[in-house]
Amino acid sequence: MSTPPDAATIARLSLHDPAHFGIQHSQTLHRLALLQHWNIATDAKVLELGCGQGDCTTVLANAVGEGGKVVAVDPADLDYGAPYTLGQAQGHISQGPFGSRITWVQQPTLDYLSSLQPSSSSSPVFDATVLAHSLWYFASPSLILSTLSAIKQHSKRLHLAEWSLAATHPSAQPHVLASLTQAALECRKENSISNVRTVLGPKRLTELAVAAGWKLESETRVQAGEGLLDGRWEVSACLDSSFEEEVEEQVKDGRERAVVLALRDACEASLGGIEGGQKGVKTMDIWVANFV
């Protein structure tokens, strides 16, 4: 039996800027930490929804081994994403050692799920379905509900990971505020293309999963690793001058606009106590849950 590849080896399978390998490495380490709570079996057939550039897909492909399979679905255009597009990133992974274990699907999640053959509840197509940091990309809570309901027809288990809205370290509080600020703006747009569209905490996501027929088996909250820069990225997006301009454009009602701007200002104010200011911002905790 060969030694399983370590985080650095898996991270190198993704298309990355070698000058900033640390960023890719931290993202892979983070997915490996999530995986510890999911218990994905060797040879399992796993559905991943919202795979994006495949940061979690490689980790899942590693976990299921040569006998397993990952179907990785993302509705985004293949030319979406920076510095590499989804098409470039996914193509690169396909050419690597895990390529044969992964099937990429570029399709709206619900369309993909409804294209599957109806399965008897005793033998669903997938052993497990994973949504790792993809729930906040959904357009609305009702779309999350429909999706979780559709998954119930085709998967034995459901594994979720999402930002928890909780910050164990006070320096991660700006990340919480930046997410809420973005959510308050994005809910005003007919079509959002932000990283942060529908912000729901663990309580609301669990309510939706239960309403979709799932039963919560276990949940936990993990602190973000030091190298994870998501907090800094979101705070930067929220404090960028273009954000304020967008608020002016998109939120016509003065009272509603005041709420979004107050959120933004609270995010900025929360940097006050942080050593290094914006550069000292940490990433908030992550909620990890298993449903059956």
Tell whether residue 173 is a contact of a second copy (CB under 8 A): yes
> And the tokens for 43?
């040879």
**Segment interacting with a second copy, rule: CB under 8 A, options 71-79, 124-132, 153-161, 173-181:** 173-181
CA-nearest of 124, 131, 112 to 153 is 124
Can you name the residues that pair with 104 across neighbouring β-strands?
72
Q: Where are the alpha helices (DSSP H) in 165-253?
A: 173-186, 202-211, 230-239, 241-250
Single residue of 141, 153, 225, 278 touching a second copy by CB under 8 A: 141
- Which residues make Cβ contacts (< 8 Å) with residue 89, sequence separation at least 6? 14, 15, 52, 53, 54, 81
Closest separation between CB of residue 90 and a second copy, Å? 29
Tell whether residue 266 is a contact of a second copy (CB under 8 A): yes
d(CA 153, CA 130): 15
> And the tokens for 39?
């218990």
Single residue of 8, 210, 269, 292 touching a second copy by CB under 8 A: 269
Q: Per-residue string for binding with a second copy, 56-95, x by CB under 8 A?
A: ----------------------------------------
Tell whether residue 165 is a contact of a second copy (CB under 8 A): yes
Q: Per-residue string for binding with a second copy, 234-263, x by CB under 8 A?
A: -------------------xxxxxxx-xxx
DSSP state of 56: T
CA-nearest of 172, 167, 283 to 229 is 283
Q: Could you say which residues in the range 174-203 bind a second copy, by CB under 8 A? A: 176, 180, 183-184, 187, 198-203
Q: Which residue has the tokens 């849950």?
A: 289
Q: Which residues bind a second copy (CB under 8 A)?
A: 139-142, 164-168, 170, 173, 176, 180, 183-184, 187, 198-204, 253-259, 261-263, 265-266, 269-270, 272-273
